[in-house]
């Protein structure tokens, strides 16, 4: 069905946090276009041509010229904000929605319980709107970043919750975490070997250009496009 949407022409909306927005890739810039503002903060659209979604946009232009990617990733946003702001993130004309969030919830005391509520809630709302929803898991972090003091919970917990949510909602899951772990194991590497890159953020959480490319390849392969 997704390939049919792409062939006929559709908008793929990407929503979520900084991983959704492509933060970590070189050449990423924040625009002045406000996505939403609430009591927690203001979130602006980002351009990231070397990110996973930037590569996806280029890929679609070459193979499915009637379709396009529009990113509304909000760096620093929690899953509760994505759930609350869904009407501002997804437009009626969007047919396909890629959802990547959850890592920021690690900073909240009840973050995993919140994510376990918000992920199914967002997927249910998207289904009710007739959207073709796809859930993505985050990529692994370096040990140094994963165990910073404000990480009250950890990425494997986020991944488990998202996998379960996708299964119960019967939506496609692009398991970026699992695919990255498989790549590392097959090549005898650790995440530190592939997450950094020249001109990239290099904080151990946000993927550099090489890992962004692997993310893009996982999306294309999993979705069969």
What is d(CA 21, CA 37) in angstroms, rounded to the nearest whole number?
A: 16
pLDDT given at position 188: 98
Q: Which two tokens stand for residue 91?
A: 């437009």
What number is the average pLDDT over the span 111-116? 98
* List of E strands, 113-171: 132-136
Q: Yes or no: say if 13 and 85 are a contact pair by the CB < 8 Å rule.
A: no
pLDDT one-digit tens code per residue, 151-173: 999 999 999 999 999 999 999 99
Give the pLDDT band (50/70/90) at residue 1.
Answer: confident
Tell me the C-alpha to C-alpha distance, in Å, between residue 216 and each of 64, 87, 140, 187, 223. Answer: 16, 26, 15, 19, 11
User: Rounded to an integer, what distance in angstroms lies between the CA atom of residue 225 and that of residue 216?
Assistant: 11
Whether the per-residue pLDDT at 185 is higher than 90: the answer is yes
Local structure of residue 173 (DSSP, 8 states): E
| CATH level 2 (architecture), domain 9-223 | 3-Layer(aba) Sandwich (3.40)
State the average pLDDT over residues 190-202: 98
The arithmetic mean of pLDDT across residues 24-38, rounded, is 97
pLDDT band at 5 (very low <50, low <70, confident <90, very high): very high
Measured from the Cβ of residue 30, the count of other Cβ atoms closer than 10 Å reads: 14
Half-sphere exposure of 90 (CA within 13 A, CB side): 28
Joined tokens for residue 48 = 């990231």
pLDDT tens digit string along 132-149? 999 999 999 999 999 999
Domain residue spans of the chain = 9-223
59-111 confidence digits (pLDDT tens) = 999 999 999 999 999 999 999 999 999 999 999 999 999 999 999 999 999 99
Average pLDDT over residues 4-16: 96
Question: For residues 25 and 209, what is the distance between their CA atoms, to the nearest angstrom?
Answer: 5
Q: Using a cut of 0.85, tell me whether the model's pTM lies above it.
A: yes
pLDDT of residue 12: 97
- Return the pLDDT at 215: 98
């Amino acid at each position: 069905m997704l390939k049919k949407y792409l062939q006929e022409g559709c908008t793929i909306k990407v929503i979520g946090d900084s991983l959704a927005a492509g933060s970590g890739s070189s050449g990423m810039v924040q625009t002045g276009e406000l996505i939403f503002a609430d009591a927690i903060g203001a979130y602006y659209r980002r351009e990231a041509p070397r990110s996973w979604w930037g590569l996806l946009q280029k890929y679609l232009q070459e193979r499915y010229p009637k379709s396009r990617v529009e990113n509304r990733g909000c760096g620093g946003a929690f899953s509760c904000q994505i759930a609350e702001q869904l009407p501002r993130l997804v437009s009626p004309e969007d047919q396909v929605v890629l959802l990547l969030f959850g890592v920021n919830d690690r900073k909240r005391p009840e973050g995993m319980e919140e994510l376990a509520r918000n992920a199914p809630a967002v997927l249910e709302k998207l289904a009710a709107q007739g959207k073709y929803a796809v859930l993505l898991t985050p990529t692994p972090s370096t040990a140094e970043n994963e165990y910073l003091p404000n990480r009250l919970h950890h990425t494997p917990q986020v991944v488990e919750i998202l996998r379960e949510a996708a299964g119960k909602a019967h939506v496609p899951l692009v398991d970026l975490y699992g695919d990255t772990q498989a790549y590392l194991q097959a090549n005898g590497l650790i995440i530190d070997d592939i997450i950094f890159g020249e001109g990239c953020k290099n904080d151990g959480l946000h993927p550099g250009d090489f890992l962004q490319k692997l993310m893009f390849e996982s999306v294309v392969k999993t979705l069969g496009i």
